[in-house]
Amino acid sequence: MTEQRVSIEFADGVADVRLTRPDKMNALDPAMFAGLADAIQRLEGTAGLRAVVLSGEGRAFCAGLDMASMAGGGSGLDLDARAFGDANLFQQVAWGWRMLPVPVIAAVHGVAFGGGLQIVSGADIRIAEPAARLSIMEMKWGIVPDMAGFALWRTLVRDDVLRELTYTAREFSGEEALALGFVSRLSQDPHRDALALAREIAGRSPHAIRAAKRLANRSAEERAAEILAAESAEQAQLLRSPNQIEAVMANMQKRRPAFTD
């Protein structure tokens, strides 16, 4: 049986997802990989889900690979096995958050090293402590980032900056991460602020939010003509739909909207 590595609490449309291996700073072992992939799959099928907050228990978000446990057998997994669409298991635990239909907000404290930083980068929005420590650490171990990092960072970080940080594996702070584009904003209490933002998003029309995320995801890869057509198609589906009408009426009547999924 897979050890419990990830918890999910669900309330008012928001899933509060936590990595739960605090004694190891939430380092990634085979059970953590399995737990994260399972959590993403469960969230895909959660009725009424509007937003996700992703964080780590204890002193850190995630210290990266647990090298001892992976050397003890976890490295035997097939990197070429695309069990999750375009992604393998290692990539799914970061890329899967990007593919969820609802916004994901990562709350970063302590450290986010290596695979931990790649998981953070899968979120739509990343809120970090100013003193948090981050690193593309794989080069320290003689390997390269292979958990969807490059696919995610291309829309966040300048190419030359990414190369420097990958080649050197140097640490940088939450403050520097904000300046470089790895995080969205800073907070002394990232989890609190991530939950507040998730609840705000949960109060918006769920169909419009999902459409916006689909468009944001497509904008990284498709030509302008395809994006323009996609905007029009999404808008046509939203206009005069029940939730769109409810958004207008609630604003006019100065009341809280009552959206349906």
- Tens digits of residue pLDDT in 92-114: 999 999 999 999 999 999 999 99
CA gap 154, 234 in Å, rounded:
25
* Sole residue written with tokens 């981050």: 134
In the chain, which residues fall in CATH 1.10.12.10?
A: 204-253
In the chain, which residues fall in CATH 3.90.226.10?
A: 6-201
Please count the other Cβ atoms lying within 10 Å of the Cβ belonging to residue 101: 14
Backbone phi and psi for residue 174, each to the nearest 5 degrees, phi listed first: -60, -40
Task: Convert the pLDDT of each residue in 179-220 to its tens digit.
Answer: 999 999 999 999 999 999 999 999 999 999 999 999 999 998
CATH number, domain 204-253:
1.10.12.10
Task: Convert the pLDDT of each residue in 104-151 to its tens digit.
Answer: 999 999 999 999 999 999 999 999 999 999 999 999 999 999 999 999
Residue 128's contacts (CB-CB under 8 Å, 6 or more residues apart) are 107, 108, 109, 112, 134, 174, 177, 178, 183, 185, 186, 187, 190
Task: Name the β-bridge partners of 17.
Answer: 8, 54
Q: Which fold has domain 6-201?
A: 2-enoyl-CoA Hydratase; Chain A, domain 1 (3.90.226)
Q: What is the pTM of this model?
A: 0.94
